[in-house]
Amino acid sequence: MSRKVLIVIPVLNEAPHIETVVRNLATDSVHEDRTIVVADGGSTDETADIVRQLAKEIAGVHLLHNPQRLQSAGVNLAVQVYGAAAQVLVRCDAHCQYPTDYISRLLKTLEERRADSVVVPMDSRGDGCLQKAVAWVSDTKVGSGGSAHRGGTKSGFVDHGHHAAMTIDAFRRAGGYDETFTHNEDAEFDCRLRAIGGRIFLDSDIRLSYRPRSGFLSLAKQYFNYGRGRSRTVRRHPGSLRLRQFLVPTHVALTVCAIVLSPVAPVLLTLPMAYLAILGLTAVTIAHKHRSICGLLALPAAVVMHFAWALGFFWGILSIRQTTWRMTPSVS
């Protein structure tokens, strides 16, 4: 039985990628009653013009202005404007590469597993030397702490994953995305979805390719924002903090203290030296595995990822007030 599907792609300056993504998704969902909404946060490149042209060629494609610019707000607005009759919400990103049968496979898993949400793993891919190193280390325990949706290969019900498809009913019952979150809005949403009894299934057979940042500065900014967003989520939902997320800021704090105090207690340098040794071994292993000297850049890349994430986490705690989430009587 055909279901009404709302596919939302929040974008900002994605001219190089948006046409390929829209055409791919439109072809895959040809047998479904689908609407594709590109929620544009005010692009200054040709993104909007490309989508307008696609809307003339492909039925069901729409350009939606997202005045709040944030991805969370764009998805919420698309559901509000175009989701009245939809049964399934599919969230996509313009910078990801999607399998040709992506939508149909998501719908099949959603139905077979009787899940409220289907999430998928992301496999990082790179072009330049640094981007390759970031991609390779991102899919290791050093880079992701063993997160199931980063290079994971095991399917099953999980607490969180990269958002792919969910029922519109579950999305609405959970309250949609929190539009005050600039980052980590998906993890925060999953906390509320689970709190109302929602079931999240990770399908490791449906995989996405993702291209990470290609420069140290942009990588640091990205992970700083990740850490800042996570600091809000763990305070809003205290039970959501995982060991891997606790270890990163703790390690960074201890490492900084060890370096500062090393003039009076040189033995404290054992901690940062052991840390660099572990990263060095990881980088050599990656370089050997991929037969590329670029893998050695995994060491500085991991340092940037860890320290930027931790600094963002601490900055979020110090600069952003956050109360604990409580389920309201209207949420059932």
pLDDT digits (tens, 9 = 90+) for 315-327: 999 999 989 998 8
CA distance readout (Å), 261 to 252, 255, 265:
14, 10, 6
Residue type, 125: R
**Cα angle 280-309-123, degrees, rounded to a multiple of 5:** 70
Q: Which pLDDT score, from 0 to 100, does residue 332 have?
A: 39
**Cα angle 107-109-114, degrees, rounded to a multiple of 5:** 100
Encode pLDDT of 81-121 as tens digits: 999 999 999 999 988 888 888 999 999 999 999 999 999 99
Question: Which structure tokens are listed for 61?
Answer: 């494609």
Q: Looking at residues 289-297, what average pLDDT do you find? A: 96
- 60 SS3 class: coil
Can you give the length of the chain in residues? Answer: 332
Instruction: Using alpha carbons, select from 166, 164, 167 the residue that is nearest to residue 91.
Output: 164
Encode pLDDT of 255-284 as tens digits: 999 999 999 999 999 999 999 999 999 999
Average pLDDT, the chain: 91
- 190 SS3 class: helix
Q: Which pLDDT score, from 0 to 100, does residue 31 have?
A: 62
CA 69, CA 11: separation in Å to the nearest integer? 9
**Cα angle 119-124-128, degrees, rounded to a multiple of 5:** 160
Q: Which pLDDT score, from 0 to 100, does residue 154 have?
A: 86
Question: Which structure tokens are listed for 319?
Answer: 């600069």
Higher pLDDT, 250 or 153: 250
36, β-bridge pairs: 7, 61
Question: Which structure tokens are listed for 84?
Answer: 């009245």
33, β-bridge pairs: 4
Q: Which pLDDT score, from 0 to 100, does residue 127 have?
A: 86
* Greatest mean pLDDT range, 146-155, 182-191, 202-211, 322-331: 182-191
Q: What is the DSSP letter of 61?
A: E
Residue type, 271: L
Strands (E) across 106-237 are located at 117-120, 122-124, 156-157, 162-167, 200-202, 208-210
Question: Which structure tokens are listed for 55?
Answer: 């809307």
> How many C-beta neighbours within 10 Å does residue 218 have?
11
Token look-up 């479904």 returns: 32
